[in-house]
Amino acid sequence: MSKASLLQTFNTQLETLIKSKDIYGSRKFRLIPDSQGVYFRGRVGFRVARVKCNAGLDNERLVNVLTPSKIIQKVPWDCPRPPHARIDGRMVSIEAAWESDMQDTDVKLSDVINIKPGLTPLDGSRLFLGFTDARTAVTLHTKQFAHGIVGGNTNSGKSTLLRLIAYLFSLSNVADPKHPTTLIVLLDGKMGQGLGILNGLPGQVGPMAVTEEEWIAALQWLDKEVTRRYELALSSYMGKSLEFGTVDLPRIKVVADEFQNYTEDGRSAEITRLFNKLIVQGRAAGVEFWCGTHKLSLKMFGKPGNATRDAFDTNIGLRVPTATSSRLIRGDDLCTLLLGKGDTLMQALLPNGSMFDGRFQGAYIPEQVLVEYTRHPFLFDRWPTVDAPGREGSRGPRKMRYTPLQYAIAIESARLGFGRNRFRAMLEDQHVGISGNVPLDRLMDEGRLIHARLTGFDYCQTETGQCGACGGVFGDGEFCQYCGGPPA
C-alpha cells in the first residue's frame, strides 16, 4: 500500500476514534472545519504521518484523551515509536512515525537550492537547512547577529548539520578564495571525526583545531582579532561614526563540534574561559559561533547559569534521549519525539523579529561532494602565536575608559535587556568586574547606546516613556537620558 493510502486509513480510523464515546466521555468534541470546510487534514511527512484537526477550546482535552496506546490501535502500519497528539498552534496534531524503511531521510542540499554561483545570492549569510513536511525550504539569514547551538544524541545528525552550515558559509569565498569575505574557523572536540572532512574549505583561517593546544591557539587568534575589531570600531565610535564590527572586515564563522569535550565543568580552564568570552563578546565584532554537542547539560559552558547560553538565538534540537536534555535546548520536551538522522526542531529569530519554531528534515551534502570541494589552502598553515593579520594600517585605538571586553559585555548585556545586577554578574563572570555604581552605570549606559546604534535605531519615541533607540527610560527632559537621542 502507498503511504498516501495508509495515511487515508489512519485518518479515517482516527475520525471514528474521536467520535466514539469511549474517547469523548460525557461531552462530544465539536470540531471546527478549516477555510475549505475540511475537518481532518492529513500529510505524508518525510518521517511521520500527520493528521491535524481543531477542537477549539477543547483542544487540550482532546490531546489528553488521545493517549499513545489509543492512537496506536488506529495506525495501520508497524509504528516504530509511540505515536502522540500535541497542540500545534490552533490545531491538534496527531503524529505517527513511518516504519523505518518508509522514512525518507534523503534531502540533499542540491534538492533545496541550486547552488551554482550566480543563481542564488550566496553571500555567506544564508543557510538553507532543509525541508518542512509541507515541502517548503527552511532558510536562515544570519546577516543579523546569530549564534546557533545544535544539541542531539549520537547519530542524530549534529555533525552532518554543522558540515552543511560551514559549507554554506564558505560558498561566498569560492569566486575569489584569496580574498575571502567570510572567514571560517573549525574546531572539533572529537578528534576530527565530525568536521574533519571539511578541512580545506575556502576561507578557512587555520587548520581544523582538534587537540587542546590547537583549540587554545585558534581561540587566542580569535581573541586578538576580536579585540582589534573592538578597538577599531570604538575608535570610530569615539569619532562619532559608528559602524561597529563589520567595517570592511570579513565576518568570522566559528563552527565547533562537540565543544563540551573541553568546556563541560571547565575541563580545560583556558578553553572554557576563551570560549565563553568570545561567544559573549564576539557577535558585535562580527564573530558568530555554531556549536554542536551530544551532551547537553547546565555545565556545558563551564558552570551553570552563566550568560553564554543566553547568547544563542538559534536553538536547533535533534533527537535527544531525555526530556531534561530537550528542555536545555528548547524549553520543552519535544526533541524526545524526534527520529534522528536529520529530523530537526529549530527555534530561530528571523530578521523581521519574528520566531521560526518548526520541524524539518535536515539537508545533507554527500561526502563525495565535500571531498571534491575542500581542496583549498588555509590562510595560515599553522595558527599564529603573534599578531592577528591586517593590523598594519589600522588607525590604532583612541583612549578608552573601559577595556574592550568590558564594552563587549556591556553591549551584550544591553542586547539581553539585563539590568544592573545581572550586568554586574556578567562582568564578574568574565573576571572584569567594576567596583562602584557610578562607573558601572556609565559603562552600562554606553553599552546600551552602542547596542542601539548597532541595531539601527536612531530616534527616540516619547509617547511610551521609553527610548526607541536604546530602551532606556526617559528622564525629565525631552531627550533620552541614556543616548541623548531626540524625540521621534
Ligand X SMILES: Nc1ncnc2c1ncn2[C@@H]1O[C@H](COP(=O)(O)OP(=O)(O)OP(=O)(O)O)[C@@H](O)[C@H]1O
- The span from the first CA to the last CA of the chain, in angstroms, equals 64
Binding mask 169-198 for ligand X (x = CB under 6 A): -------------------------x----
156 binds ligand X (CB under 6 A): yes
CB 336 within 8 A of CB 321: yes
The answer to whether 317 contacts ligand X (rule: CB under 6 A) is: no
Nearer to ligand X, 63 or 168 (CB): 168
Cβ closer to ligand X: 300 or 454?
300
**Residues contacting residue 455 through CB under 8 Å, at least 6 positions apart:** 415
Judged by CB under 6 A, the stretch of 12-20, 63-71, 158-166, 277-285 that binds ligand X is 158-166
Q: Which is nearer to ligand X, 154 or 394 (CB)?
A: 154
Measured from the CB of residue 193, what is the shortest distance to ligand X in angstroms? 6
Q: Which own/partner contact pairs does 94-99 have at CB distance under 8 Å and 24+ positions apart? A: 94/14, 94/50, 94/51, 94/52, 94/53, 94/66, 95/45, 95/48, 95/49, 95/50, 95/51, 95/337, 96/10, 96/48, 96/49, 96/71, 96/72, 97/47, 97/48, 97/339, 98/3, 98/47, 98/48, 98/49
- Of 294 and 424, which CB lies nearer to ligand X in the complex structure? 294
Residue 159 found at the interface with Mg ion (CB under 5 A): yes
Q: Which is nearer to ligand X, 273 or 359 (CB)?
A: 359
Stretch that binds ligand X, among 1-9, 147-155, 229-237, 397-405 (CB under 6 A): 147-155
Task: Pick the closer one to ligand X by CB: 341 or 453.
Answer: 341
User: What is the edge-to-edge ordering of all strands in the sheet holding 287-293?
Assistant: 137-141, 126-131, 355-362, 343-349, 314-317, 148-151, 287-293, 251-257, 182-188
Q: Choose, by CB under 6 A, the member of 148, 152, 207, 468 that binds ligand X.
A: 152
260 sits near ligand X (criterion: CB under 6 A): no
The amino acid at residue 353 is G
Q: Is 236 helix (H, G, I), strand (E, B) or coil?
A: helix
Measured from the CB atom, is 159 or 430 closer to ligand X? Answer: 159
Q: Which is nearer to ligand X, 156 or 314 (CB)?
A: 156
- Comparing every residue's Cβ against ligand X, the nearest one is 342
CB nearer ligand X, residue 318 or residue 408: 318
Q: How far apart are CA 266 and CA 281, in angstroms?
A: 19
173 binds, among ligand X, Mg ion, none (CB under 5 to 8 A by kind): none
Q: Is residue 152 within the footprint of Mg ion (CB under 5 A)? A: no
Binding mask 178-217 for Mg ion (x = CB under 5 A): ----------------x-----------------------
Quick one: how many helices (H) and strands (E) in the chain?
A: 14, 13
Least Cβ distance, residue 259 to ligand X (angstroms): 13
* Contacted by 294, from Mg ion, ligand X, none: CB < 5 to 8 Å by type: ligand X
157 is an interface residue for ligand X by CB under 6 A: yes
Q: Give me the least distance between CB of 359 and ligand X, in Å please.
A: 13
Q: How far apart are CA 128 and CA 137, in angstroms?
A: 7
| Residue 104, all three cell numbers | 525518507
d(CA 242, CA 417) in angstroms, rounded, equals 21
C-alpha cell at position 306? 552563566
DSSP secondary structure letters along 267-333 = SSHHHHHHHHHHHHHHGGGTEEEEEEES---TTTTSSTT-TTGGG--EEEE---SSHHHHHHHHSSS
Is position 160 an interface residue for ligand X (rule: CB under 6 A)?
A: yes
Does the protein bind ligand X through residue 158 (CB under 6 A)?
yes
Partner whose binding site includes residue 156, from Mg ion, ligand X, none (CB under 5 to 8 Å by kind):
ligand X
DSSP H or E segment with residue 184: strand 182-188
286 contributes a contact to Mg ion by CB under 5 A: no
- Which listed residue (341, 376, 415, 451) binds ligand X by CB under 6 A? 341
Q: Which residues neighbour 438 within 8 Å (Cβ) at sequence distance 6 or greater?
A: none
- Residues 147/314, Cβ–Cβ less than 8 Å: yes
Residues 350-409 that bind ligand X (CB under 6 A): 362, 364
Instruction: Please identify, using beta-carbon distances, which residue of 126 and 341 lies nearer to ligand X.
Output: 341
Q: Tell me how far apart the alpha carbons of residues 221 and 186 are, in angstroms, rounded to a whole number.
A: 13
Helix axes 404-415, 269-282, angle to 10 degrees: 60
Q: Which spans of this chain sit near Mg ion (rule: CB under 5 A)?
A: 158-159, 194
Q: Which spans of this chain sit near ligand X (rule: CB under 6 A)?
A: 105, 152, 154-160, 194, 294, 341-342, 362, 364
